[in-house]
Structure 1
Amino acid sequence: MRLLLGHPNVDLVAVTSRNLVGKSLAEVFPRFANDKKAAAL
């Protein structure tokens, strides 16, 4: 995901999971807690 978020030709619009329903991306991947693009997902 880190590579996709930083790639200029990729527009990542959603991240899904069956096991982690209701959790934010930052809860699952703390490294993205301060990433503006990741916060928008």
Structure 2
Amino acid sequence: MFFPLKISDWDMDQYKLILQLFSIGLIAILLVYIALSSRDNE
């Protein structure tokens, strides 16, 4: 397999976008989990 050493700007933008979506998803899951657990404790 051949991996180009120079990463194009488009690849970097895609990578950043995927990272942003991933982190937003994680935060959303955490918020839902905290909301559900706090509701169960009451």
Pairwise same-fold verdict (TM > 0.5): no
TM-score scaled by length of structure 2? 0.15
Structure of greater Rg: 2
TM-score scaled by length of structure 1? 0.15
